Each structure stands twice: as C-alpha cells, then as structure tokens.
Amino acid sequence: MTGTRIDKWLWREGISLLKRVSLFADITKQQLLEGGEPKLVHLPEDAVLVAQGDQNCAFWIFLEGEVRVIRMESDGGTNLLFN
C-alpha cells in the first residue's frame, strides 16, 4: 500500500478498533470522526509515550499490553502511580 491508501486503511482500522471498546460501542461512526483522526500506534516494550511536563492533547486507548504511569520526583527519584 502507498500514501493515501495506507492512510485510508489506518483510518478505517482505527474506527473499527474504537467501536470494539465498550466506551465507544454506541457512538456512531460520524461522532467518532468528529473527535479527530484515530491513529493506530505500536510501541516497543518500555517506550515512553508521554513524558512528564509534555503538553499533550491526545486521548489514548490501550487495546493490549501494559501501561505504567511514573512521576519523577524533585529529588531525582521516581514514584510509580499506576501499573
């Protein structure tokens, strides 16, 4: 697949994946599209999705895998908030 064909496939795949999440099951495709373009992202183990202090306007839905939320402390240590 090239260029626009890949983009269209990812768009359809993203909507399809969102519809499988119970939170979005009863929302129409049009309503989902109004929320912005869904993007399917694959991350390697221990990847940093968002760093503390980043300005981020994204809404993340994790379909599989694990997530850790870690807060950096002023003394340089870390505090695990969610695992």
Q: Please write the tens of the pLDDT for every residue from 18-75.
A: 788 888 888 887 887 777 766 777 889 888 888 888 887 777 878 788 888 888 899 9
Q: Of 54, 55, 61, give the one whose Cα is nearest residue 36.
A: 61
What is the residue extent of each domain of the chain?
A: 3-82
User: Which is more confident, 1 or 83?
Assistant: 83
pLDDT at 1 over 90: no
* 38 close to 50: Cβ distance less than 8 angstroms: no
Please give the model's pTM, rounded to 2 decimal places. Answer: 0.54
